[in-house]
Structure 1
Amino acid sequence: MQHDPGDLAATQKEQREQWQRTYAMHPGMYGERPSAPAVHAAEVFHARAAEDVLELGAGHGRDALHFARQGFAVRATDFSATGLRQLREAARAQGVAARVTTAVHDVRDPLPLPGASVDAVFAHMLLCMALSTDEIHALVGEVRRVLRPGGTFVYTVRHTQDAHFRAGTPRGDGIFEHGGFAVHFFDRALVDALAEGWRLDEVHAFEEGELPRRLWRVTQTRRP
């Protein structure tokens, strides 16, 4: 399906404002317990002797804080300053503030890190937000740039077997808006394309939430 880049840009602006409002109205909306993918990712990162983790789309920080409690140095980014403020407050309350840094960042822009500067990257449902396919490819290219050789990238995305796929308002390029939130639903071809030049370690199907949402957890490694 063809789509108007101008329409997508408007959707992206609306989504940013929507997340800001949502975090302001519902502080700590996802609770304090880490997501199952973050628990798994921490185990993988430990097994591979990672010391620092970059989380993209950290929100109010339930997963970033888990990584910090696990002993990693964590760099957390999100486009919501409100969510990151809640993250910092929680980090201080949990005694892990020294291991957490935050930065407001829109993933459509280059990552604010030098090349080969981080051991691991984690992103829970960030790649399947209101991003075009080209923007997703550019982001994964940036993740590869900032990872050290042999570094690990774990991400999750909703996919085309999800109940909300093709439900709600179509925004083009595989993106559908439902309940005020836009999602880019992945097919397997996109996962495979994003792994070109990487070692694709795992594509694990799982479910989350009451609907339930259907997702893939993808683990891939930057080749030396």
Structure 2
Amino acid sequence: MADGSRHLADDGQHLADAQRAHWQSTYTAHPGMYGEAPSAPAVHAAAAFRAAGARDVLELGAGHGRDALHFAREGFTVRAADFSPVGLEQARAAARAQGVAERVTTTVHDVREPLPLPDASVDAVFAHMLLCMALSTKEIHALVDDVRRVLRPGGTFVYTVRHTGDAHYGAGTDHGDDIHEHGGFAVHFFSRALVDALADGWTLDEVHTFEEGELPRRLWRVTQTSPARPV
């Protein structure tokens, strides 16, 4: 059993390392690959964060910063985290060009590790397609638990994920645990049961279905609120 667990861990680390290298090379070859316009989920999240009275936002998986910069332009103080130094350097350059550098800080961070922030230190957290990267179910649960830790009581978490109704679900290389690799990108496709499990101990405000891109990718936008008091 121990050998089997070690084998699974080794496979997961190998996939994580390969995905990090793939994203690094992708950002290097295609600077600002998603353009300057914010994603639709980020536009929604900014409105939701403002309605909740948030002032500071943590974005996980910020990439080259198109959504982090939107939050900054909307008046939020933003910490942008990603495991790609190349992407974050592009984000910093764009922040300087747009005159919002004073509102944006960047942190190179792999979400498989605990978030480098104190408890109850941010008002809102945003993650566009970060949770559905090559993360195991166990790692996703640990990450969401850590998001709740760093959120202030009553804070808002908005995330998006591709789900099992997506056209690429089941295609390409099957890594197990609903993780499938297609075109060099590994995706953990979410079931509704996983969304509900991740909302345990939170208030699940919304699960919104939408599509993005040319395939199109099929996603859920999930909004949930941390408890008003620590639990």
- Greater RCO (CA < 8 Å, at least 6 residues apart): 1
In 2, Cα distance between equivalents of 1:9 and 1:144: 25
Match of 1:112 in 2: 116
Which of 49, 68, 75 is matched with 2:72 structurally? 68
Task: For residue 141 of structure 1, give the secondary structure of its aligned residue in structure 2.
Answer: helix
Match of 2:132 in 1: 128
1:178 maps onto 2:173 in alignment: no
Which of 30, 53, 60 is matched with 1:49 structurally? 53
User: How far 1:5 moved relative to its partner?
Assistant: 2.5
User: How far 1:4 moved relative to its partner?
Assistant: 2.3
User: How far 1:110 moved relative to its partner?
Assistant: 0.4
1:20 maps onto 2:20 in alignment: no
Match of 1:162 in 2: 166
Amino acid across the alignment from 2:71: F
In 2, Cα distance between equivalents of 1:5 and 1:112: 23
Alignment size in residue pairs: 223
Match of 1:88 in 2: 92
In 2, Cα distance between equivalents of 1:33 and 1:178: 26
Which of 201, 205, 208 is matched with 2:209 structurally? 205
Which of 127, 139, 143 is matched with 2:143 structurally? 139
Task: For residue 223 of structure 1, give the secondary structure of its aligned residue in structure 2.
Answer: coil
User: How far 1:9 moved relative to its partner?
Assistant: 1.4
In 2, Cα distance between equivalents of 1:15 and 1:214: 21
In 2, Cα distance between equivalents of 1:4 and 1:64: 34
Match of 1:38 in 2: 42
User: How far 1:8 moved relative to its partner?
Assistant: 1.8
Match of 2:8 in 1: 4
Give the root-mean-square deviation of aligned CA atoms. 0.9
Which of 191, 197, 215 is matched with 2:195 structurally? 191
In 2, Cα distance between equivalents of 1:7 and 1:112: 26
| TM-score, normalised by the number of residues in structure 1 | 0.98
Q: After the TM superposition, which parts of structure 1 deviate over 4 Å for at least 4 consecutive aligned residues?
A: none
Structure 1, residues 159-215: CA drift from partner, whole Å, max 9, x if none?
Answer: 000000000000111100000000000000000000000000000000000000000
In 2, Cα distance between equivalents of 1:130 and 1:6: 14
In 2, Cα distance between equivalents of 1:78 and 1:5: 22
In 1, Cα distance between equivalents of 2:47 and 2:12: 37
| TM-score, normalised by the number of residues in structure 2 | 0.95
Match of 1:153 in 2: 157
In 2, Cα distance between equivalents of 1:10 and 1:54: 27
In 2, Cα distance between equivalents of 1:6 and 1:74: 34
